[in-house]
Copies of this chain bind each other. A is one copy, B any other.
Amino acid sequence: MAHYERKIPILDCGHEYTRRVLHGKWKIRILLYIAEGINRPSELERHIPQATRRVLDAQLAELLKHEIIDRTVFDESVKHVEYFLTDLGKSLMPIIAVMGKWGNEHIDKLRKAINSN
């Protein structure tokens, strides 16, 4: 990724940092899977076939950078990797839960409003 200097600064307040952490097309889905034990990149790839592996890796890298998840390398016969939620990541899950709840409660209205032109 090689050191990219952001030109539009991120607002320095709690709301904005939370928005950033959650902002990423596949992040919430990835976190939900990791929370339920689907935590190897190849497994995530199989469970999220709409996203390419390249994109999943990028999202995982950002979640790592933001310290929402961490990574363990298992050097067995075939080396593999497992991701897991950090304490910070665990503390974020209730927010994801309420977002899902609200969205599902209003899904018909939201679908119409958001997908209309």
Q: From residue A90, how far is it (CB to closest CB) to chain B in Å? A: 12
Would you call A114 and B66 a contact (CB within 8 A)? yes
Q: What is the total number of copies of this protein in its complex? A: 2
Instruction: Give the distance in Å from the alpha carbon of A112 to the alpha carbon of B92 in the complex.
Output: 17
Would you call B3 and A15 a contact (CB within 8 A)? no
Would you call B102 and A91 a contact (CB within 8 A)? yes
Would you call A95 and B96 a contact (CB within 8 A)? no
Would you call A102 and B14 a contact (CB within 8 A)? yes
Q: From residue A54, how far is it (CB to closest CB) to chain B in Å? A: 15
Would you call A94 and B98 a contact (CB within 8 A)? yes
Would you call A19 and B28 a contact (CB within 8 A)? yes
The verdict on A75 contacting chain B, using a C-beta distance below 8 Å, is no
Chain B residue numbers with a CB within 8 Å of A94 are: 98
Would you call B98 and A98 a contact (CB within 8 A)? yes
Would you call B15 and A99 a contact (CB within 8 A)? yes
The verdict on A57 contacting chain B, using a C-beta distance below 8 Å, is no
Would you call A14 and B96 a contact (CB within 8 A)? no
The verdict on A76 contacting chain B, using a C-beta distance below 8 Å, is no
The verdict on A81 contacting chain B, using a C-beta distance below 8 Å, is no
Chain B residue numbers with a CB within 8 Å of A111 are: 12, 17
